[in-house]
Amino acid sequence: MQITKASDAVGAIVEDVDVTKLSDEQFTKIRAAFRDHGALFFREQQLTPEEHIAFARRWGPIDFNRFFKRREGYPEIAEVLKEPDQQLNIGGGWHTDHSYDEAPAMGSILYALEIPPSGGDTLFAGMAAAYEALEDDMKAQIKNLKARHGNAHIFGEESEYRKGFEGRYTNADQAGQTAVHPVVLPHPESGVKGLYVNPGFTLEIVDMDPAEGQALLQQLYGHIMEDRFHYRHQWHAGDLAMWDNRSTWHYALNDYQGHRRYLNRITIEGVALG
């Protein structure tokens, strides 16, 4: 088994390994790499749904996502699907999953089944690298701030975004959660500081003038969106990717109109942040 950095800011490639046959020693090394790099990418895996679920359970209890359509017969697995005739893709903007929950999901494990002949890459951004690169005065400004996150504008019954997905999102009546988290988050396992706001689900800076808060968020987003903090993953069928929601953003590019893209995702429970 070989583990090499995918970029200076985020991610590592794990090669020469079958995730269905990991020894305890190998899994310990993989868990450490996940903590240190925020995202891992395994090539050439051949997983049944049962094996995907078994690998996920090694990481922790499964978070049964309430908004994604589930794979028939496997409620643990959410379908990330775009058919050739559909225009919108799931995850087509920078975000981190579940930041609207009091205990956001630790991460997700995404397995590629059908990939278009070109396009459909996923971008990842490293929040620790982005935080470290901030000027000292900005670090001081955001040191003790908190942000409110929510999901009704994405998954709720009145969401125009959700209405465009033709049944690929479910349970709109269960949307509406909000949660408050630190803008600068010490990682729950490593203690390394990273930014914890995102364009998808962050609503506002708590106790700040709304206009000033939005201006600050946009300044932070613009910083994180710089290429130096990113890794771009080009998918192949059989790829398995997993990311830490506490230390990364991701963005699924929608540049493969007329082609089918189908992946299976399992999400792992996390802990309260703060």
pLDDT along the chain (274 residues), means of 10: 96 97 96 97 96 97 77 91 86 87 93 96 98 98 96 59 53 66 96 96 95 98 98 97 97 95 95 86
- Asked if 20 and 175 touch (Cβ cutoff 8 Å), the reply is no
Catalytic residue among 98, 230, 250, 261: 250
**pTM for this prediction:** 0.92
Question: What is residue 162's predicted lDDT score, i.e. its pLDDT?
Answer: 46
Catalytic residue among 98, 181, 230, 265: 265
Active-site residue 265, yes or no? yes
Residues with Cβ within 8 Å of 107's Cβ and at least 6 positions away in sequence, in order, are 34, 59, 242, 243, 244, 245, 246, 267, 268, 270
Catalytic residue among 37, 52, 63, 97: 97
Would you tell me which CATH number, out of the four given (2.30.30.60, 2.30.40.10, 3.40.50.12370, 3.60.130.10), belongs to the domain 2-268?
A: 3.60.130.10
Query: Per the structure block, which two tokens stand in for 124?
Result: 């990842």
Active-site residue 95, yes or no? yes
- Asked if 132 and 47 touch (Cβ cutoff 8 Å), the reply is no
Domains of the chain, by residue range, sit at: 2-268
Catalytic residue among 52, 95, 162, 233: 95
Distance CA 193, CA 205 (A): 18
Distance CA 38, CA 194 (A): 11
Active-site residue 250, yes or no? yes
Active-site residue 121, yes or no? no
